[in-house]
Amino acid sequence: MSDLFAAIERLPIAGADVVYYRHFLPRSGASAMLAGLIDQVPWRQDNIVLWGKSVAQPRLTAWYGDPDRSYTYSGLTLQPLPWIDELLLLRTMAEAIAQATFNSVLLNYYRDHNDSVGFHSDDEPELGATPTIGSISLGETRTLSFKPKRNKDWQPARIALESGSLLVMKGDTQRNWRHAIAKESRPCGPRVNLTFRRILDG
């Protein structure tokens, strides 16, 4: 088997469909893309409502997409920024591998080891019942954890998301599992994650 095929891995998670493409982007391309996005994107730190309290999200975000698409999550409604060339290129590449079409992307900027995203699933109604999510990682390797929503017989799972990788989650993944990026105990460098999504009509 060539290295390229060996680097495609289906995660052994019941009731989910998660495939990891380690070498989606060349290393040097991923580093250049990371630096360009950190520099160019108008990052914001929104407040979200958690257990009835307003708190700053523990990371920076940005939302790009087709002009007629807005997105609501954790009590926030975001209007998309207009596409930039770098994101259109990554979108086309991710669509080819995920066999899906995407009309928006949420960018997360984890500045250092203290930034994180709590357990959630990408199950907003506007994504439909079985959304395909294409998740590209740039920069520092961080661990994505999965835990089952209901079935306690299923073991939690983890995967290290390396720079230049694409993780495709589809089918029942969001219905059955939550995922999170925990803080790291040791200092680490920046990471940008891009989750391409398709917001449905109506």
Ligand X SMILES: O=C(O)CCC(=O)C(=O)O
Q: Which residues bind ligand X (CB under 6 A)?
A: 106, 108, 117, 122, 135, 144, 161, 179, 181, 193, 195
- Total of residues contacting Mn ion (CB under 5 A): 1
> Residue 5 or residue 76: which is nearer to ligand X going by CB?
76
Amino acid at 173: T
Closest separation in Å from C-beta 161 to ligand X: 6
User: Do 67 and 80 form a contact (C-beta atoms < 8 A)?
Assistant: yes
| Least distance in angstroms from the C-beta of 5 to ligand X | 23
DSSP state of 32: H
Closest distance to ligand X from the beta carbon of 66 (Å): 18
| DSSP code at position 138 | E
181 binds, among ligand X, Mn ion, none (CB under 5 to 8 A by kind): ligand X
- Closest to Mn ion by CB, 122 vs 172, is 122
SS3 for 57-121, per residue? CCCEEEEEECCCCCEEECCEEECCECCCHHHHHHHHHHHHHHCCCCCEEEEEEECCCCCCEEEEC
Residue type, 110: Y
Q: Are 147 and 110 in contact (CB under 8 A)?
A: no
**Contact of 20 with 167, CB cutoff 8 Å:** yes
Decide whether 41 or 144 has the Cβ nearer to Mn ion.
144
Nearer to Mn ion, 31 or 145 (CB): 145
Q: Tell me how far, at minimum, the Cβ of 1 lies from ligand X, in Å.
A: 27
122 scored as a contact of Mn ion (CB under 5 A): yes
Question: Contact residues for Mn ion (CB under 5 A)?
Answer: 122
